[in-house]
């Protein structure tokens, strides 16, 4: 059986694509080039499905949520707050997995940030 090798891209609709792209660059440091190509650091990727009634993604209209790995969750959340981003007050820790925090981008998409254990 042929298998996928990894995530090749993540695509989002936006009312203002340039502004949303700039937010991801300026607030999260996602330094994609003019074609959207981003060379990420090696590490684990989780692919998981959730029950359709979950509140984990925030708004019920959001059908999926991207999760970004970070080196220092506390530093990233502080950086986002300093830029005026909508950062969730709580964080979560899962033994053996790591710590999680959330930010909502300017278009209302909840994004998960993960500091692996």
Q: How far apart are CA 23 and CA 55, in angstroms?
A: 24
- CB neighbourhood size of 69 (10 A): 17
Establish if 29 belongs to a structural domain: no
User: Which domain range does residue 67 map to?
Assistant: 42-116
Q: Provide the number of structural domains found in the chain.
A: 1
The tens digit of pLDDT for each residue in 106-115 reads 999 999 999 9
Is 105 within 8 Å of 21 (Cβ atoms)? no
CATH number at residue 47: 3.10.180.10
Establish if 23 belongs to a structural domain: no
Establish if 49 belongs to a structural domain: yes
Q: How far apart are CA 18 and CA 25, in angstroms?
A: 11
Establish if 9 belongs to a structural domain: no
The tens digit of pLDDT for each residue in 65-92 reads 999 999 999 999 999 999 999 999 999 9
The tens digit of pLDDT for each residue in 30-58 reads 999 988 899 999 999 999 999 999 989 98
Taking residues 15-38, what's their average pLDDT?
93
Establish if 80 belongs to a structural domain: yes
Residues 6+ apart with CB under 8 A from 2: none
Establish if 54 belongs to a structural domain: yes
């Amino acid at each position: 059986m042929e298998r996928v090798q990894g995530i090749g891209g993540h695509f989002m609709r936006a009312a203002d694509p340039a502004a949303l792209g700039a937010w991801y660059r300026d607030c999260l440091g996602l330094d994609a080039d003019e074609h959207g190509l981003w060379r990420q650091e090696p590490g684990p990727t989780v692919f998981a499905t959730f029950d359709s009634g979950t509140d984990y993604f925030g708004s019920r209209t959001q059908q999926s949520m991207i999760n970004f790995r970070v080196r220092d969750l506390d530093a990233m959340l502080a950086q986002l707050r300093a830029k005026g981003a909508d950062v969730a007050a709580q964080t979560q820790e899962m033994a053996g997995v790591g710590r999680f925090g959330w930010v909502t981008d300017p278009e209302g998409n909840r994004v998960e940030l993960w500091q692996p254990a």
